[in-house]
Every structure is written in C-alpha cells, then in structure tokens.
A and B are shown apart, each in its own frame.
Chain A
Amino acid sequence: MATHVSCKRGDFSLNINLNLSADLNWLGIVGPSGAGKSTFMRCVAGLEKTASVNGFAEWSDTTSKRPVLVSAQTPLFPALTVMENLKLVARHNGLVQQDFLHIIEDFECQSLLNKSIGTLSGGEIQRVIIARAIMTTPSLLLLDESTSAMDTKLRARILAALQRYTEASCKVLWVSHDWRDIAQYCDEVAVVKQGRCIIQDRPAAAFAFAESAQSVDTSTGCILQGPVLESEAEFLVFAVGEHKVVTRAMETPAEHATLLVDPRQVLVARESLAPLQVGYVNRLPVVVEDITSDAAAGVQRLTLNCEGQQLHALLEAPAARQFGIKAGESVFAYFGAGTLS
C-alpha cells in the first residue's frame, strides 16, 4: 500500500513515499538531523494543518482511531500528577481498570504515580508518555526518539512491552538515532534525507545502502543480520549464508539476530589467520566490492560483501598501500562479537 506525505514549511519541503505492506508491523525511520523525520511524524499524526497525508488508512485503522505520537513535543499535562495524567487519558478512551493497571505495570510507572510532573527525569517522562499513548489503544503509534533518555536495559524492557502491546492490532513508525535498536525491532527501515525517502528495505540492506550514500553517521558502521542458530547466556550464533557469526545476546529473544560492526574495528587479511572463531572474534570470508580513498582522513574504505550482506572496513592509507588489495579479491574479515552493555 503506497502512502504519501507532503508538507511545505518555509523553504523546507517534505515529500515522503512509503510502501507499507500488511505484514509490516514496525517501520524504522532513520536519517541525519534536519532530514524531516520529526516533521514527517507530526504530519502523520495530523498535527500539521497544511500537510497532505494519504494512504495510511489502508495500512492501519486510522479512520476510526487517530494515530498517536510520542515525542518530546507531546508533554505531560503539568497541572496533574502522573496518576492523574494517566487516569484522564484512560477515562477518555474507555480503558477498563484491569488494562489500566497492566499498562502501568508493564511500562514501569508504579513508582512514579504520585509524583508531580516537574520532578520526573527524562527517562521517567518517556515511560509515562509511552504508557499514556498505549492507553488510547491506538492503531498507529508514532514513536519519535521516545526511548532516547532510557538506559539500555530499561529501554529493552520498555521496547519488549511495546512489542507485546502492538502485536495484535497496532502498527508502529519509529524514529530513532539508535539504529541497533531499529535493526533489532523493525521489520523494515526507511532512510530519510532532505525530506525524501531514499530507500525502504530490510534493516541490513537499508543500512548498507545508507552507509554507502553516507546518509547515516558513517562511524556507526553497518550491520549483519541472520537467523539464530545457537544461543547461550550472553552470546548467540547466527547464520550469514552458510557462515556462522557470534554476537552478544539480545535482551529479548528473537528469530533473527543482528551484529553492529564498526568499520574501524574490522581487520582484513588474505590468509586465514586463525580458526573459524577464536573466542568472540568472528572470521568471515568476504569479497572486496569497492575501494574508495579519503585523502583528507588518510584512510581507505573497503566495501566487503559476504553472502549478499555488506560490511565496511577502514584501513590507514599507508597500510592499505602496502597491502595492495584490489576490488574483486577474496579476503577474510575479522571483527569482534560486540560489547556487553
């Protein structure tokens, strides 16, 4: 189902087309600051009066229920306590008492109920506004950096709760700078740049494209993704084609695992230096697809491919010259299994 959002604000124009299929539940939206992500979310939420928004009703039931936005611009009502904020919204949306209590528990708001809004921390506010949004039982939830002030473990719990609550009948659009989260939770990712969507695809493919188009922060690297083969307490093994990759375990078990690879920490060698896996170091046979030189930074940037998944490596220019690697060559890439949080 094709959706279209356009909006003009001064000399910034937004024109985003997305293809939202019925089996797509969580769509991540990434892009550099000022790309129009937040404006896009406000448009979809119906908060931009001049925007034209089409096609969302076929993806989620937005005709009978308004999309609900959760962002820094959806404040708690300052005259009320946390409890009163939640109760007010629950009452106006016909939420039954039992669900009300479950939501408070699942989004960890119990200890905050009697606090006044002014005394909450950033992460606490985010928890409460997510809980408040869920209380409207939306059919389309718009998250705009809604978990940015939470620590890793809390964020994982809140996101897991969000997954449970949205499973049945709620679609999610999620803007975040943390693309590891996006890769883990979203079915697809849209990369937005200068008010346009430049690609919408599975997370790994979208990030690989965005990385090569330099649309996301290049120091964040790229990701490998694949079905989980074995899992242990802290680490798990997933498949990239017929090769195995170790990564640290995710907070919430899933069928697919992801590993974030920082291009500065990828070693490239012609020979197989070590057995398949040494501790938590991965070795993947890769093909060098492309080599670009950045003279200013004094580095060469290799684009590597393993079974259709892309990986990047940065080599210091002198080392790269000595190494004399060429496009099309088959080499081995070595990289870590990710750090524990």
Chain B
Amino acid sequence: MDMQALWLTARLAFITTAILMVIAVPVALGLSRWQSPGKALVQAFIALPLVLPPTVLGFYLLIAFSPNNAVGQGWQALFGSPLAFTFEALVIGSVLYSLPFAVQPLYAGFTQLQPTLLETAGMLNLSRYAQWRYIIIPAMAPNALIAAGLSFAHTIGEFGVVLMIGGNIPGETRVASIALFDHVEALDYTQAHQLAAVLLVISLVLLIALYWRQAKGGTQWRPM
C-alpha cells in the first residue's frame, strides 16, 4: 500500500483547504458587494479551473514557476530554493485549481445573506464583531462547510495540474493520483486496485457527508 502517497495527498488537501478558506472568504465577500462591469471578468477568472483542462493551468504554472521567470525568480530570492517541482508549488497549483469550489458556495451565501439583518444590527448599535459572531458566521457556516468539503475533495482528485508541475518526487510531489498512474504504467494492477479503491471510498464518503448535511437543511450549493 502506498501510504506515503496517500499521506502526502491528505497533507496537500488539508493545507490547500486551509489556505483556500482564508483566501475565499474575503474574495467571496468582496465579490458579493462589488457592483461593476469588471466583476464578470474576475468571476470568469476564478471559475476558469471548472472548465479549463487542468493541464492548461499546469502548463502555465510550470512556465511561471520556472527559475527563468519572475515568479520562480522571486520565490528563489525569498526562500533560497527553486519553486518548480516542490510541495510548495503543488500547494499553489492546488489553491488556484480548487479556488472556484471554495469561492462559489461562499459567494452564494454572502449574496443570500439578508441585507436587512446587518442593517438592523447596525441600527441597534451592535459591534462589527457581534455582527460577525452572531449573524454572519451562523448564517454562513453551512456554506463554509460545503466550500471546505468541496475544496478538500477536489484537491484529492486533482491530477493534471500535479502531473505538470509536480515532477513525481516520492514524499514531495508524488500524490496518490500520480502514484496510481505510475502503478498502471508499470502494470502493477494489485497496487493500482488498492490505491484506486482507497481514493474512491474517501471521495465517496466525503460527498455523502456533504449531501447528507445539505439534506438536513444546510444551504444548497449551486455551480456557477
């Protein structure tokens, strides 16, 4: 059993989800309050990974991360090591790749949040903190759960981006989906079966949990 690859995948999914939640909340909040023709452009960019072949995103990232380009050079100047073919590169790629899955449910939640609730809270002299603590966060919790769950599941399922920017280094960038591909290429079907089954079960359980939560009265998640 390829425990190393599975562990790496889990670590990648956790870190990506954590970063995404930090990024996606302000992005979704900003988008929900922003009225401008430029909004469509920004929304389209965020949603791109939904429709773009992952290899396209991977290709551009590979170019960007290369030490010959600004991003790669900047990284090297800051951290003293190249960015391409590292775990950090995978995290950056995964964050971009799963961004729409985190932003969309949160954006839907913020737009459905009744403006009268916050208006009333302000009128009754509630502090900003109290508004978040007692109104916004309780209302947004189901959406945040969906955003986190989908980001996590989607990161586990990514292949194309990792293939392009990962470089298949065991313990560093060789995630489960890549390991599975290697096993099949090497005609090691026993290992491939095991890994595929584990990925299938994990993804299925995650989605069942999300749908079950949704059926219990959580917020509906609508794709863009």
DSSP class of B's interface residues: helix, strand, loop or mixed? Answer: helix
Please determine whether B124 and A136 come into contact, CB atoms closer than 8 angstroms.
Answer: yes
Q: Which one of A46, A68, A75, A89 contacts B117 once the chains associate, using CB atoms below 8 Å?
A: A75
Q: How far is the CA of A46 from the CA of B120 in the complex (A)?
A: 11
Q: How far is the CA of A66 from the CA of B125 in the complex (A)?
A: 9
Q: Taking the complex as formed, is B130 at the interface, i.e. its CB lies under 8 A from any CB of chain A? A: yes
Closest 6 CB pairs of A and B: A79-B138, A74-B120, A73-B116, A89-B124, A92-B125, A92-B126
Q: Taking the complex as formed, is B127 at the interface, i.e. its CB lies under 8 A from any CB of chain A? A: yes
What residue in chain B is nearest A89 (Cβ atoms)? Answer: B124
The smallest C-beta distance from B186 to any residue of chain A, in angstroms, reads 54
Q: How far is the CA of A93 from the CA of B127 in the complex (A)?
A: 10
Please determine whether B126 and A88 come into contact, CB atoms closer than 8 angstroms.
Answer: yes
The smallest C-beta distance from A250 to any residue of chain B, in angstroms, reads 32
Give the number of chain A interface residues (Cβ < 8 Å): 21
Beyond A75-B114, A93-B124, A133-B124, 15 additional contacts (C-beta under 8 Å) are: A46-B123, A47-B123, A68-B123, A68-B124, A73-B116, A73-B119, A74-B119, A75-B120, A77-B121, A77-B134, A88-B126, A88-B134, A89-B126, A92-B125, A92-B126
Q: Which residues of B contact A46 (CB under 8 A)?
A: 123
Q: Taking the complex as formed, is A132 at the interface, i.e. its CB lies under 8 A from any CB of chain B? A: yes
Q: How far is the CA of A142 from the CA of B179 in the complex (A)?
A: 67
Q: Which residues of B contact A224 (CB under 8 A)?
A: none
Q: Taking the complex as formed, is B135 at the interface, i.e. its CB lies under 8 A from any CB of chain A? A: yes
Q: Which residues of B contact A45 (CB under 8 A)?
A: 123
1/0 per position for A28-51, CB-CB distance to B under 8 A? 000000000000000001110000
Please determine whether B125 and A136 come into contact, CB atoms closer than 8 angstroms.
Answer: yes
B: residues with CB less than 8 A from A are 114, 116-117, 119-121, 123-127, 130, 134-135, 138-139
Q: Which residues of A contact B127 (CB under 8 A)?
A: 92
What residue in chain B is nearest A46 (Cβ atoms)? Answer: B123
Return 11 A-B CB contacts under 8 Å, by A number.
A47-B123, A69-B123, A73-B120, A74-B116, A74-B119, A75-B117, A80-B134, A88-B126, A88-B130, A89-B126, A92-B126
A: residues with CB less than 8 A from B are 45-47, 66, 68-69, 73-75, 77-80, 84, 88-89, 92-93, 132-133, 136
The smallest C-beta distance from A80 to any residue of chain B, in angstroms, reads 6
Q: Which residues of A contact B130 (CB under 8 A)?
A: 88, 92
Please determine whether A78 and B125 come into contact, CB atoms closer than 8 angstroms.
Answer: no
Q: How far is the CA of A68 from the CA of B130 in the complex (A)?
A: 18
Please determine whether A66 and B117 come into contact, CB atoms closer than 8 angstroms.
Answer: no
Q: How far is the CA of A66 from the CA of B130 in the complex (A)?
A: 18
Interface core residue of B124, B130, B135 (most chain A CB under 10 Å):
B124
Q: How far is the CA of A136 from the CA of B135 in the complex (A)?
A: 18
Please determine whether A77 and B119 come into contact, CB atoms closer than 8 angstroms.
Answer: no
The smallest C-beta distance from B143 to any residue of chain A, in angstroms, reads 14
What residue in chain A is nearest B120 (Cβ atoms)? Answer: A74
